[in-house]
Amino acid sequence: MDPKTGAPAPFAIYAVGGGTKFYLTVKSDHSGCYVTSTWDSNYATWFQGTYSGGTYFQWSNPDLNLVIATNDGQPATYNNPVMMISGSGDLTWIWNIIGNLEQPGYSAIQLASNTSLNLNVESGTDQPWERAEVCTWSWGGGNPNELWRIVPVNPPLT
């Protein structure tokens, strides 16, 4: 929350691979997300809200929510891509943010309705990440592709 206005404060979400920050970014066609080393305020600015005991991530333009893409209403499973939709009919848009004791400031972002699924950079830990898709996967113990940092957009990103 912005302490002056009470409005949700904008933030960025990034993972670090090979010493480089890779920002969670909405694809230009709004069909999903990937990571990129260049922060773009039009596609990588997020707002956070709470619902049903969890967190949702809403993209700032045009108010789309980060959800898990599932087939024909089936439960989310491993390697489901993320996508952007307006509203939601189920709990595939509610996330838990779990702090990481080994790397303070970084968190796992897990699906609230299936806590064995985490938000991951699909390329894994040792492949190039630039424009890699973002998906769900099981917890691998705190690998770089499954740890995220949530930072305010203003003041400048750190």
Evaluate if residue 156 carries a pLDDT over 70. no
Q: CA 126 to CA 50: how far, in whole Å?
A: 34
- CATH C-level class of 11-152: mainly beta
pLDDT tens digits, one per residue of 143-154: 899 999 998 887
Sequence spans of domains, the chain: 11-152
pLDDT tens digits, one per residue of 60-114: 765 778 877 665 555 666 677 777 777 655 667 788 888 876 778 899 999 888 8
Q: CA 2 to CA 8: how far, in whole Å?
A: 6
Dihedral sign from CA coordinates of 13, 19, 20, 24: negative
Q: What is the pTM of this model?
A: 0.85
pLDDT tens digits, one per residue of 55-72: 888 877 657 788 776 655
| Three-state DSSP class for residue 116 | coil
Question: Residues 104, 52, 79, CA angle at the centre, nearest 5°?
Answer: 60
Q: Which amino acid is at 146?
A: E
pLDDT tens digits, one per residue of 128-138: 899 999 988 98
